[in-house]
């Protein structure tokens, strides 16, 4: 017999809009890199986050990509954000 949490799992992130995804990403980057991004500099499209930033910051994001994606999948679910550019 399945637990009820199994059936309710798909409703966990239902209805998340782009603004909320951006805010969760910004908070995760702040936690991992001690850098505050602006919402205007972050775009989410088809599970890919694009960041407008200085090349040094983009390099740091690439280095920490795995940690950031793991934390985001724990918060949002495994299929909401799949890559960072």
Q: Which helix (H) or strand (E) holds 48?
A: strand 48-51
69 pLDDT above the threshold of 90? yes
Grade residue 71 by pLDDT with cuts at 50, 70 and 90.
very high
What would the pLDDT profile of 33-47 be if each residue is shown by its tens digit?
999 999 999 998 888
10 pLDDT above the threshold of 70? no
Q: For 55-63, what is the mean pLDDT?
A: 95
Q: Are 45 and 53 in contact (CB under 8 A)?
A: no
Residue 50, SS3 per DSSP: strand
Q: What is residue 14's predicted lDDT score, i.e. its pLDDT?
A: 58
DSSP tag of 12: S
């Amino acid at each position: 017999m399945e637990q009820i949490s199994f059936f309710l799992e798909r409703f966990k992130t239902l209805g998340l809009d782009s603004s909320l995804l951006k805010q969760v990403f910004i908070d995760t980057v702040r936690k991992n890199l001690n850098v505050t991004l602006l919402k205007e500099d972050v775009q989410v499209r088809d599970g890919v986050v694009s960041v407008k930033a200085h090349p040094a910051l983009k390099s740091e994001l690439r280095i920490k990509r795995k940690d950031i994606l793991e934390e985001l999948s724990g918060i949002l679910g495994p299929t909401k954000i799949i890559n960072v550019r």
